[in-house]
Amino acid sequence: MNAFSHSLSRRFWNTVSSVTVGVKILGLALGLVLLLGAGVTWQARNSLSFILQQQMEKEGVTSTRDLAARAVDPILLNDVVGLQKLLLETQENNPDVRYAFILDQHGQVLAHTFGAGFPIGLINANQARSDDHHHTLVLQTEAGLVWDTAVPVFGGRAGMARLGLSDASLRSAIQTLTVQMLLMVLLVSAVGILVAVFLTSILTRPLRELLTATQVVARGDFSPRVLRWADDEIGDLADAFNAMTAELAHIDEIRREREQLRRQLLEKVIATQEDERRRIARELHDSTSQNLTSLMVGLKNIENMCDQQQMRAPLQELRFVVSQTLDEVHEISVRLRPPVLDDLGLSDAIERLGREWQARYKIPVDILVHLGSERLPGEIETAIYRIVQESLTNIARYACAKSASVLLERRGGDVVAIVEDDGQGFDIAQKFNNRQMGLAGMRERAELLNGNLTIESRPGQGVSIHVQIPITEEEKKIL
Q: Is residue 269 part of a domain?
A: no
Residue 210 confidence (pLDDT) = 83
Q: With a cut of 70, list the residues of the chain below it in pLDDT.
A: 1-6, 8, 12-19, 21, 128-132, 266-267, 270-271, 273-275, 277-278, 281-287, 289, 307-310, 312, 330-331, 333-337, 431-437, 472-479
Q: Is residue 290 part of a domain?
A: no
Q: Is residue 293 part of a domain?
A: no
Q: Which pTM does this prediction carry?
A: 0.46
In 72-125, where do the E strands start and end? Answer: 97-103, 109-112
Q: Among 157, 176, 195, which residue terminates a domain?
A: 176
Q: For residues 369 and 351, what is the distance between their CA atoms, to the nearest angstrom?
A: 8
Residue 478 confidence (pLDDT) = 41
CATH number for the domain harbouring residue 131: 3.30.450.20
Residue 421 confidence (pLDDT) = 93
* Per-residue pLDDT tens digits for 257-314: 887 777 777 667 766 766 676 677 666 666 676 777 777 777 777 777 776 666 767 7
Residue 459 confidence (pLDDT) = 86
CATH number for the domain harbouring residue 424: 3.30.565.10
Total domains, the chain: 2
DSSP conformation class of 376: P
Neighbours of 238 (CB within 10 A): 21
Q: Is residue 240 part of a domain?
A: no
Q: Is residue 406 part of a domain?
A: yes
Residue 470 confidence (pLDDT) = 92
Q: Is residue 189 part of a domain?
A: no
Using alpha carbons only, what angle is made at residue 80 by residues 77 and 84, rounded to the nearest 5 degrees?
A: 130
Q: Is residue 455 part of a domain?
A: yes
Residue 390 confidence (pLDDT) = 87
For residue 385, give every residue at least 6 positions away whose Cβ sits within 8 Å of its Cβ, in sequence order, or none. 338, 341, 346, 349, 350, 353
Q: Among 154, 176, 198, which residue terminates a domain?
A: 176
Neighbours of 45 (CB within 10 A): 15
Residues 105, 71 contacting (CB under 8 angstroms): no
Q: For residues 349 and 247, what is the distance between their CA atoms, to the nearest angstrom?
A: 49
Q: Among 159, 176, 193, which residue terminates a domain?
A: 176
Residue 262 confidence (pLDDT) = 74
Q: Is residue 265 part of a domain?
A: no
463-470, strands of its sheet edge to edge: 365-370, 404-411, 414-421, 463-470, 452-457
Element (H, E) at 452: strand 452-457
Residue 476 confidence (pLDDT) = 44
Domain that holds residue 457: 345-478
